[in-house]
Amino acid sequence: MGGVDFSVGHIQLPDGFRHKDFQWNKLHQLWGGVRGGITVDSDYTRPSLAYRVIERLPSAGGDQVSFWYSRDVGSRGKNTYIDRFGLVGLSLINYDDRSVLITEGVSDYLSAKMIWPGRNVLGFTTLGGSRKARKIICSLFDRITYICDDDNHKGEVNTGLRAGGRVVQFYRRYGKDVRLLLPSVGYNDLTEEFMNKLRFI
Q: What is the pLDDT of residue 152?
A: 72
CA distance 110 to 88: 9
Residue among 23, 31, 32, 30 at smallest CA distance from 50: 23
pLDDT tens readout for residues 125-176: 998 999 999 999 999 999 999 999 987 765 666 788 888 999 999 999 999 9
Roughly how many angstroms between the first and final C-alpha of the chain, as a whole number?
A: 28
* 143 and 99 Cβ atoms separated by less than 8 Å: yes
User: Could you say which DSSP state residue 27 is in?
Assistant: H
Q: Give the amino acid at 77.
A: G
- List CB contacts of 21: < 8 A, sequence separation 6 or more: none
Q: What pLDDT score does 156 carry? A: 67
Report whether 120 contacts 100 (CB < 8 A). yes
Question: Would you say 94 and 133 are in contact if contact means Cβ atoms under 8 Å apart?
Answer: no
Per-residue pLDDT of the chain (201 residues; tens, 9 = 90+): 566 779 999 999 999 999 999 999 999 999 999 999 999 999 998 888 999 999 999 988 889 999 999 999 988 899 999 999 999 999 999 999 999 999 999 999 999 999 999 999 999 999 899 999 999 999 999 999 999 998 776 566 678 888 899 999 999 999 999 999 999 888 999 999 999 999 998
Are 33 and 39 in contact by the 8 Å Cβ rule? The answer is yes
b/e string for 39-58 if b means 16 or more Cβ within 10 A?
Answer: ebeebeebeeebbbbbbbee
Euclidean distance between CA atoms 89 and 66, whole angstroms: 10
Q: Which residue segments constitute the domains of the chain, with CATH numbers given?
A: 2-198 (3.40.1360.10)
- List, in order, residues 6 or more apart from 124 with CB less than 8 Å away: 86, 87, 102, 103, 104, 105, 130, 133
Contact of 190 with 147, CB cutoff 8 Å: yes
Nearest residue to 178 via CA among 2, 15, 56:
2
| Residue 154: per-residue pLDDT | 58
